[in-house]
Amino acid sequence: MKDFQKEFLDNRNIEKDIWRIFKMMSDFTDAFDELENIPPAISIFGSARIDENNKYYKKTLKISKKLSQKGYAIITGGGPGIMEAANKGADISIGLNIKLPHEQKTNPYVKTKLEFDYFFTRKVTFLKYSVGIIIMPGGFGTLDELSEVLTLIQTNKMSKIPVAFYGKEFFEPLLKFYKNMLKEKMIEEKDFELFLISDDIDEIVDYIYNNSIQPII
């Protein structure tokens, strides 16, 4: 039997569905218990495929340090690249790792580590504890997280929190795509107010701080 056929049948197995429910509950209860008392947090998303010599790694490190100085916890996916830089710069450093067939190694700068069986439980946890989002250059996973948060804010499924992109040159094609969506009436002009795109670290940090819940230091 082909793998996709087996997977299709497994997904219709009621006994396995019951087990999945318990795994989902475990993801949530572990996260709620572990993160209950953290200060307001900023989630930072970006590529896992860069090293410490990359300019975006260095910028992420600076952004994380500045946000930490203002009292924010920093949440990432716990992996390498941008995630590592963000955790490295954080005083309160949280990594939400996902269990994958090829295990993603948690970076050494994560101080509070959680592991998730499901992407959706992990996404809920990111947004439950975040009062702001920073999008660094990245790939499909980064765009997935970005689209998720913009959709939830746009549809009023969650409160408006500041979303900042770092890297004008990198995100210019995406902005053009958004403008084409506007031209075709797929989104509205006001949707461009949901985010900031900047190359200025201080502008991004101030934007997050001035438009989110401010930690008590």
* Domain residue ranges of the chain, discontinuous segments joined by +: 38-210
Answer yes or no: are the C-beta atoms of 106 and 125 closer than 8 Å: no
Under the banding of pLDDT at 50, 70 and 90, the label for residue 95 is very high
Fold of 38-210: Rossmann fold (3.40.50)
Q: What is the pTM (predicted TM-score) of this model?
A: 0.92
Separation CA 156–CA 43 (nearest Å): 20
Which pLDDT score is estimated for 99? Answer: 85
**Is the confidence at residue 105, as pLDDT, over 90?**
no
pLDDT digits (tens, 9 = 90+) for 124-165: 999 999 999 999 999 999 999 999 999 999 999 999 999 999
Q: What is the CA radius of gyration of the chain?
A: 18
Mean pLDDT of all residues in 62-77: 98
Question: What separation in angstroms does the CA of 213 have from each of 83, 110, 176, 196?
Answer: 23, 23, 31, 17
Separation CA 90–CA 104 (nearest Å): 20
Which pLDDT score is estimated for 2? Answer: 57
Answer yes or no: are the C-beta atoms of 96 and 114 closer than 8 Å: yes
pLDDT digits (tens, 9 = 90+) for 9-49: 777 778 888 888 999 999 999 999 999 999 999 999 999 99
Which pLDDT score is estimated for 110? Answer: 98
Answer yes or no: are the C-beta atoms of 113 and 106 closer than 8 Å: yes
Question: What separation in angstroms does the CA of 95 have from each of 8, 35, 79?
Answer: 31, 11, 8
Mean pLDDT of all residues in 98-119: 89
Angle subtended at Cα 86 by Cα 66 and Cα 28, rounded to the nearest 5 degrees: 115
Residues with Cβ < 8 Å from 178, sequence gap 6 or more?
Answer: 187, 191, 192
Separation CA 204–CA 191 (nearest Å): 18
Map residue 92 onto helix, strand or coil.
coil
Under the banding of pLDDT at 50, 70 and 90, the label for residue 197 is very high
- One-letter identity of residue 121: T
Edge to edge, the sheet with strand 130-135 lists 112-116, 93-98, 73-76, 41-45, 130-135, 163-166, 196-198
Closest CA to 75 of 44, 97, 49: 44
Which pLDDT score is estimated for 119? Answer: 94
Instruction: Write out the E strands in 31-162.
Output: 41-45, 73-76, 93-98, 112-116, 130-135
Which pLDDT score is estimated for 213? Answer: 94
